[in-house]
Chains A and B, each alone.
Chain A
Amino acid sequence: MTETIDQIFVILKHWLVGHVPTAVEPIVSELLSVVPIILLFPLLFALITVMERKGLGRIQNRYGPNRVGPCGILQPIADGIKTLTKENIVPHSADKVVHLLAPLLLVMATFLGYAVLPVGRNMVAANMDAGVLFFFAVGSMTELSVFMAGWSSRNKYSLLGAMRAIAQMISYEVPLILSSVTVIMAAGTLSTVSIVEQQSGYTGIFPHWFVFTPWGFAGFVLFMIAATAESNRSPFDLPEGESELIAGYYTEYSGFKFALFFLAEYLGMMSISGMAITLFLGGWAAPLSFLTWIPSYLWFFGKLFFFIAGFIWIRGTLPRLRMDQLMNFAWKFMLPMALINLVTAGVWRFMPTGILRWLVCSAMVVAPYVLLGRGFMLGKRLEKRTYRFAD
């Protein structure tokens, strides 16, 4: 019974495909995999915008939007109507084709990333052998479209903002990919489906998720910090916040294209969270062995929900990092940590199982963290200060 509920969508798809003439079967099968993604994730995006505004509101001791619909649930509809009815302004000297293509390319690139995320048991749109590689390759395409947006506006401030955004995204690609390489090393495969399957076993009641190892935990933290920077979220949102001078690469966009940029940002947030869940948190696997009766897709989306809540929580708390501090952090702190983490993952694999393996690898992760962190703070002469009083 639980098996059926778990595989209900797969069974449904097979049943529908069975009713179609054989000639169009492959196309219909692909469509049935792709269309739910295109319908579901923008719906989630709408829900996330409300969740974010209400979450930030509650953190700030106020209600979020609560006039449109019960508890403000229908707020995205109001926002959508507003964006659609705004005038579509294109600057006179802008490159019109590129100006139009940039948001479209961005949205397309972010949607492509969902193809390799296994949202449930046997539920993945494209079961590729090099799924992780495909995901990161497609993710790099987003940076190209950011540059297209800044370039086509023919506005030196947009261009500068776009350059800063790209510099940030490129710098954080390196720790992002390096931390996922540890998982690839441990799993021995680039395929997302088999990475998740390797994490779906249990010893006793505890799962085999990679996050429950020292190198996995460090890799997870590094991956999430880099993911926050990749999606331009606070505290790395200098390109998109009112960045004090240069208003960002999408200054010259209005109306629906602006909404597309937002759609792409949140979709990117969800897809990179999905990849973190796949790599580190066991994908659709339940956290405790007696909870496997809950369907796998519910687990995946539950974990996704927690990731989004975490993003919102961090946004509500931390101020923004300045551009040069951001880059320093990426190259001088995260990159060395990611490399050391790589070595730790190797040591973990080749040491015999036991408590010694745990101790050695934990030391290999914690010691550089403390040393690098202290060096970082001392280098900037940051300290906790005490103040004197006049007498």
Chain B
Amino acid sequence: MLGEGIVRGLAETARNFLGSFVSKERLTTVQFPEERLPQAEAARDFPFLVYDGEDWQAGMRCVACQICEKECPPKCIFIEKSKDKKPDALGRAQFYPARFDIDVSVCMSCQICVEVCPFEAIKMDTAFELSTDDRFGGLLWDRQKLALSDAHYHAIHPTDAAHTDELLAAEKAKAEARTKAAVAKASPAPMPQPPAPAAANEP
């Protein structure tokens, strides 16, 4: 019948109109910024450098190996290695980044730097409201701006942070086992002493 398709379309539209007053399925808007949808746990926006403990300089995990700088596709990471060393979480002396800049306006949130980092030092943050009106340096972040604590990492990505903690603990355990074995080999156990000749003095 001519016009039947049009009538069916009108019925469908009316259903959506009336449904929008009763069901959330038919009115899917969220009134941002008063209401916010929860972000998925795996969401990734821009990188940050993890530090353990309270002091961001002393606790920073990054050892300036520069692997992320080489692997970054748009080459937005700039690292300068330090001249001296500082002790890391396992007590060994490591270099640290004297300069670690990320140009966030170039970064494409691909997460390759996180994947290739052998030290679990760089992770992805979930903050996305980052606009600034400083054209020239506002989105070039230095290492202080990039440093965020491990507690923050646990807050935004709990499963990943737990997994990272396991990896680091396993590494620490392996390192401790190795040191114990090395110490045991370096200073061998003392030879068993011969019994003192006390019986010869007796009449």
Contact = CB atoms under 8 A, between A and B. Distances in A.
A and B from one complex: yes
A59 B28 contact: no
A58 B20 contact: yes
B10 interface: yes
Given A58-B20, A62-B29, A63-B27, A317 B2 contact: no
A301 interface: no
A302 interface: no
Interface string B6-22: 10011011101100110
Nearest to B3: A373
Contacts of B10: 313-314, 317
B29 A370 contact: no
Interface residues on chain B, size class = 10 to 19
Contact of A377 (B2, B14, B26, B27): B2
Chain B contact residues: helix, strand, loop or mixed: helix
A376 interface: yes
B27 A317 contact: no
A318 interface: yes
Nearest to A376: B2
A62 B16 contact: no
Interface string A35-65: 0000000000000000000010011111100
Contact of B17 (A59, A369, A373): A59
Contacts of B31: 63
A63 B17 contact: no
Contacts of A58: 16-17, 20-21, 27
Contact of B13 (A63, A316, A369): A316
A250 B170 CA distance: 72
A317, A318, A370: residue with the most chain B Cβ atoms closer than 10 Å: A317
Given A59-B16, A59-B17, A317-B9, A370 B27 contact: no
B198 interface: no
Contacts of B3: 373
Nearest to B8: A317
A202 B135 CA distance: 75
A60 B13 CA distance: 8
A145 B98 CA distance: 73
A234 B16 CA distance: 19
Interface residues of A, number: 18
Contact of A61 (B1, B2, B14, B16): B16
A229 to B, nearest CB: 15
A62 B28 contact: yes
Given A61-B20, A316-B13, A370 B6 contact: no
A332 interface: no
A48 to B, nearest CB: 16
Interface in A341-391: 369-370, 373-374, 376-377
Nearest to A375: B2
Contacts of A317: 6, 9-10, 12-13
Contacts of A318: 6, 9
Nearest to B7: A317
A373 B1 contact: yes
A172 B109 CA distance: 56
A374 B27 CA distance: 39
Contacts of A62: 27-29
A162 to B, nearest CB: 29
Given A61-B26, A61-B28, A318-B9, A55 B1 contact: no
Interface string A151-165: 000000000000000
A233 to B, nearest CB: 15
28 contacts: A55-B17, A58-B16, A58-B21, A59-B13, A59-B16, A59-B17, A59-B20, A61-B16, A61-B20, A61-B26, A61-B27, A61-B29, A62-B28, A62-B29, A63-B29, A313-B17, A314-B10, A317-B6, A317-B9, A317-B13, A318-B6, A318-B9, A369-B2, A370-B2, A373-B2, A373-B3, A374-B2, A376-B2
Interface of B: 1-3, 6, 9-10, 12-14, 16-17, 20-21, 26-29, 31
